[in-house]
Every structure is written in structure tokens, then in C-alpha cells.
Amino acid sequence: MSEWKGKNALVTGASYGIGEAFARRLASDGANLILTARSLDRLDALANDLSARYSVNINVIESDLALPTSPDEIFRETEARGIDVDLLINNAGFGAVGDFVDLPLVRQLEMIQVNVNALVALSHLYLQPMIERRAGAIIQVASTASFQGVPYMTVYAATKAFVLCFSEGLWIECKEYGVRVLALCPGPTATQFQAVAGTSRRRNPQKMQRPEEVVEVGLKALTEERGVVISGFSNRAMVTAERFIPRSMVTQIAAKVFRPFSTGADA
């Protein structure tokens, strides 16, 4: 039986991709859910589908995490509905592909707000009651981009490096209170992510991980009380190999992989 049966799990970015896969998996495990994202229609459809299939309670909170007030509003909403969050999954996030100087600054600052600031704020808000209860867990969705600079996804990789480092620190700090914190690092995964990021490189979805596989890896690593897990054998191999190569070389290889086809540099 899943440890989350009858517990309350809050998933950010539950409307698509990895977040939706977390919601589906946790509902099938018997967890009650709090689903948040901007796409209310998709959250409502998901909630209706899951409530029809499983005997779980599902709450939907429409929220734009690019707004600095949103984490506090989500927290106050769960308090008002009398929900103790046992598992927080900080999954919402997005990337943008292109030269840093060409990408709109406002979009990149929004990325920092969603990928970093909202994640820190939600962690701070929900950790306090978890620590009081001496129970609970947080999964922070980081990335294989956390492990090196990634030219042409420069701000995105920096946000994910933050998430990794932040989560590793919290993992140790929270251990003594019986609260688990895990950085889950997926590599390329077949979701909306690539389209939202505006990549010009077409990846074969068959060669990417499925979001369900990422979720499986994350939930298993949580039971093992690990601080960091990389999803997928080839992603783990890549990150391991990087440790034996000079960092400057790793960054140059990443530049070759991520350079958009449309830049003058390709010509």
C-alpha cells in the first residue's frame, strides 16, 4: 500500500506533463490532491476524471506563480479549506531557448519567479507545519540542466542549479525533523516543455522519457530518503561522465547541443 493513501498532496503545475502524471499516479495511490496551475479548465477536467475513477478528495486552486503573491494565497487557501499538506510537489516551471540578450527580460525574470522564488516561498510556507508535525515531504522538480551551465538556456539552467543546491541543503536540514526533501532531476521528457521553451530542435518523443517514468523514479527515491535523484539511465550516465571532464569543456558541449538552429552562429 502506498504511504500516500489518505494523505494530502499538493502538486503545482498539475495541468500538463510531469505534474499531471504526479496527480494521476498519486490519485491511483489513494492520495487526496490539491492541484494548482493557471489552466483552470484543464485542472477541472483532471479533477473530474480522477474523482470519477478513485475515491479521493480533489481541490483545485487556479494560480499564476509568476505573481509574487501566489504562494501565500495558495497556502492561505489550503489553510482555509482545513487541509494539512503532507506532500508538496514543486513542479511548475518552464524554460526559454535563445540567446540571453535576445530573449525578453520580462520572460526570463518571470521564469526566475516561477522556477525559483515561488518554489522557495511554497517550501517555506509548507515546511513549517510539516516540521511541527514531524512528518511530510517535498519533491522539488529540478533537471539534468541543474548540473552545468547550459548556453542558450542560460537562465533556465541557472534556476535549476538553484533548485538542486537549495534542495540538497534542505534535505539535510529537515532530516532531523523527519521531513524529506528530494530534488528530482529529469532529462528530456515528452511534455509541453519543449514547445513552451520554443526550442527549434525537434526531439523524437520516443527517445524522451515519459512523465510517468519520471514520477515513478521520484516517488521511489522519496521512500529511499535520497536527497537527489536523476531520472533515466542515460541521464545518470551523462551527469556522472561530466564529473570527469573539465567544466569548461562540459559547457562547450552543452552549447553545441542547445544552440538553436535559427541563430546566425549556425550558418
- Rounded-to-integer distance, Cα 208 and Cα 199, Å: 15
**Least CB distance to ligand NAP at residue 187 (A):** 6
Nearer Cβ to ligand NAP, position 91 or 123?
91
By CB neighbour count within 10 A (0-12 exposed, 13-18 middle, 19+ buried), where does 1 fall?
exposed
Nearer Cβ to ligand NAP, position 32 or 231?
231
- Interface positions with ligand NAP (CB under 6 A): 13, 15-19, 37-39, 63-66, 91-94, 114, 141, 143, 186, 188-189, 191-193, 196
**Least CB distance to ligand NAP at residue 191 (A):** 3
Which helix (H) or strand (E) covers residue 185, if one does?
strand 180-185
Nearer Cβ to ligand NAP, position 165 or 265?
165
Residue 205 DSSP SS3 = helix
Sign for the pseudo-dihedral over CA of 186, 191, 192, 195: positive
Residue 253 DSSP SS3 = helix
Give the orientation angle of helix 17-28 with respect to helix 40-53, to 10 degrees. Answer: 20
For 135, left (φ over 0), alpha (ψ -120 to 50), or beta?
beta
**Least CB distance to ligand NAP at residue 41 (A):** 9
**Least CB distance to ligand NAP at residue 95 (A):** 6
Are 4 and 87 in contact by the 8 Å Cβ rule? The answer is yes
**Least CB distance to ligand NAP at residue 237 (A):** 16
- How far is the CA of 42 from the CAs of 39, 45, 204, 217, in angstroms? 6, 5, 25, 25
Positions marked active-site: 156
Nearer Cβ to ligand NAP, position 32 or 191?
191
Nearer Cβ to ligand NAP, position 123 or 191?
191
Residue listed under C-alpha cell 483552470: 40
Residue nearest to ligand NAP (CB): 17
Nearer Cβ to ligand NAP, position 48 or 192?
192
- Rounded-to-integer distance, Cα 107 and Cα 259, Å: 19
**Least CB distance to ligand NAP at residue 142 (A):** 7
Count Cβ atoms below 10 Å from residue 11 Cβ, excluding itself: 28
